[in-house]
A and B are shown apart, each in its own frame.
Chain A
């Protein structure tokens, strides 16, 4: 049913917290996501012309890089973009078939590939570009928050996390329950001032992005006009010899 579930107080809201301070843009999350989902619930994930010009495919996670600010105050920021599992996802309510749905028990937004007609309206309704059409199967696909991993009792408990989170070498990705104010991810969002993407559109994303820390104190200092006096006698002697 494409009507949204009634929001219950204290309900689970599973999602990701992404640290823009420590993401190094290595694409490991995107690669591991593709690897897992190509064979899991969403598989196969098509790749068109994989070995020739015009190679492209369906990916649930795309890592952009941006420059923000100018000069010494500027930053290069790597920015992974995937489904935010919004609290009011229009991608679900526009679906004419009931293939798109938001789970009441944990808030994950999913597509039932067995009934999707591939009209593409949900992709139009998503402001974040989280959905990509599988043009081989004619159905829409998207991030499942690795629903086939996180509840999977056949894999070790430590690995019951989304593939992107497990792959991240800098621990820039965190998975947890953002509906519980005391969960580690909620505390992280509180401490670091986590932000929602495009909050003005009112989709209420569950995923949160931690802002890059302020590094202005580490920014390159302008060169001193006059050299300071050299304290070390050996260096002072070398400076004198080399200055001849």
Chain B
């Protein structure tokens, strides 16, 4: 599948934003995050909004984007839109509560915002997991992957902000735990998609299997088309292997180590280590999100390539 830049940016930025909102909504009312928390909330909403706006760039008719919230009864994309918009309400209420220092409202709005963040990321994951023709997406580990990556990137960002605000070991500890969990999940996912059998074959796609092994002879068109551009994107196996290593190292392993280091150091060095960790994590996740598309294969290519 063609890794559209706007979608890769959307899932990375909004994923991190919702992760940050989730942890802030849970931890700030409990007093586990130092400082007022407004900077973290602003960063979360900024990332979410940049991601959502970026995703509309992918549309053929961005001015009609508002129509996308109407079919929530059948469409995960529509549900994602609804959840994303609804989540703004408790998120802004949380901001108000933190601003005027209203602990009860902060607790209620924080919990609702955290729930909204989970729901939105769950819907994002389901958009991909519900697509049967793409076996790398139609997989039980795809939704947990989206949730874990979001929780991890959000925890790293919150840990960085908490360190600048002077402490807060809980977010850094969460970054370590979610990072290690996300890495294990991602490795299990890669292992699973590498060994899974194809969904269909050229024989079942053409009904010609009863004659014998089938192969494409003459293509229906000699030039490109939308299907080949969108669904025919291929990545060389050796590049995929290298990019997976880079994503694992930069996206997960190094940020987790830096978060551990920050737990030991404290103070400004911790803040700097976590800043580097956040940059590495988001960069690594961009690569991982890109791979998520580049490694996915669509059944329509059976007709073109066998």
B129-159: which residues lie under 8 A (CB-CB) from chain A? 130-134
Interface string of A116-144 (1 = CB under 8 A from B): 11111101111111001111011110000
* Interface size in chain B (residues, C-beta < 8 A): 60
| In contact, B207 and A20 (Cβ under 8 angstroms) | yes
| In contact, B77 and A119 (Cβ under 8 angstroms) | yes
| In contact, B200 and A138 (Cβ under 8 angstroms) | no
Contact size range, A: 35 or more
**In the docked arrangement, what's the CA distance between A169 and B298, Å?**
33
- How many whole Å from A224's CB to the nearest CB in chain B? 26
Instruction: Tell me if B73 counts as interface (CB < 8 A to partner A).
Output: yes
| In contact, A127 and B133 (Cβ under 8 angstroms) | yes
- Residues in A with CB closer than 8 Å to B59 are 117-119, 138
Interface string of A94-115 (1 = CB under 8 A from B): 1111110000000000000001
| In contact, B300 and A126 (Cβ under 8 angstroms) | yes
Interface string of B196-213 (1 = CB under 8 A from A): 000110111111111111
| In contact, B77 and A121 (Cβ under 8 angstroms) | yes
Q: Which of B60, B64, B219 contacts A135 (CB 8 A)?
A: B60
| In contact, A129 and B303 (Cβ under 8 angstroms) | yes
- Residues in B with CB closer than 8 Å to A70 are 212-213
Contacts across chains A and B counted by CB atoms under 8 Å:
213
Interface string of A1-44 (1 = CB under 8 A from B): 11110000000000000001000010000100000000000000
- Residues in A with CB closer than 8 Å to B204 are 197-200
| In contact, A67 and B214 (Cβ under 8 angstroms) | yes
| In contact, A124 and B211 (Cβ under 8 angstroms) | no
Instruction: Tell me if B49 counts as interface (CB < 8 A to partner A).
Output: no
| In contact, A64 and B64 (Cβ under 8 angstroms) | no
Given A68-B213, A127-B133, A201-B299, A117:B226 Cβ within 8 A: no
Q: Which of A25, A62, A95, A138 contacts B75 (CB 8 A)?
A: A95
Q: Which of A59, A63, A68, A73 contacts B214 (CB 8 A)?
A: A68
B252-299: which residues lie under 8 A (CB-CB) from chain A? 298-299
| In contact, B210 and A64 (Cβ under 8 angstroms) | no
Closest to A116 in B: B61
| In contact, B133 and A126 (Cβ under 8 angstroms) | yes
- How many whole Å from B64's CB to the nearest CB in chain A? 4
- How many whole Å from B17's CB to the nearest CB in chain A? 21
A58-85: which residues lie under 8 A (CB-CB) from chain B? 58-59, 62-70, 73-77, 79, 81
Closest to A71 in B: B212
**In the docked arrangement, what's the CA distance between A62 and B226, Å?**
13
Closest to B128 in A: A124
Closest to A69 in B: B212
- Residues in A with CB closer than 8 Å to B12 are none
Interface string of A194-216 (1 = CB under 8 A from B): 01111111110000010110000
Q: Which of B70, B212, B227 contacts A97 (CB 8 A)?
A: B70
| In contact, B205 and A97 (Cβ under 8 angstroms) | no
- Residues in A with CB closer than 8 Å to B218 are 25, 64-65
| In contact, B215 and A67 (Cβ under 8 angstroms) | yes
Given A2-B75, A127-B133, A197:B230 Cβ within 8 A: no
| In contact, B70 and A98 (Cβ under 8 angstroms) | yes
**In the docked arrangement, what's the CA distance between A68 and B306, Å?**
11
- How many whole Å from A90's CB to the nearest CB in chain B? 6
| In contact, A138 and B226 (Cβ under 8 angstroms) | no
Instruction: Tell me if A55 counts as interface (CB < 8 A to partner B).
Output: yes
Instruction: Tell me if A93 counts as interface (CB < 8 A to partner B).
Output: yes
- How many whole Å from A133's CB to the nearest CB in chain B? 5
| In contact, B76 and A64 (Cβ under 8 angstroms) | no
- How many whole Å from B29's CB to the nearest CB in chain A? 34
B69-88: which residues lie under 8 A (CB-CB) from chain A? 69-71, 73-78, 81
- Residues in A with CB closer than 8 Å to B221 are 56, 59, 62
| In contact, A124 and B61 (Cβ under 8 angstroms) | no
- Residues in A with CB closer than 8 Å to B231 are 123-124, 129
**In the docked arrangement, what's the CA distance between A120 and B230, Å?**
9
Instruction: Tell me if A231 counts as interface (CB < 8 A to partner B).
Output: no
Given A117-B60, A124-B131, A124-B133, A67:B217 Cβ within 8 A: yes
**In the docked arrangement, what's the CA distance between A211 and B70, Å?**
42
B168-219: which residues lie under 8 A (CB-CB) from chain A? 199-200, 202-219
| In contact, B207 and A64 (Cβ under 8 angstroms) | no
Apart from A94-B75, A95-B74: 12 A-B pairs, beta carbons within 8 A: A54-B224, A58-B226, A62-B221, A64-B218, A95-B71, A96-B75, A117-B59, A117-B64, A124-B134, A124-B298, A137-B60, A211-B208
Q: B-side interface residues toward A, CB under 8 Å?
A: 1, 58-62, 64-65, 67-71, 73-78, 81, 127, 130-134, 199-200, 202-221, 223-227, 230-231, 298-300, 303-304
The 8 A-B pairs at the shortest CB distance, nearest first, are namely: A118-B60, A138-B60, A69-B212, A129-B300, A127-B133, A62-B220, A96-B78, A65-B218
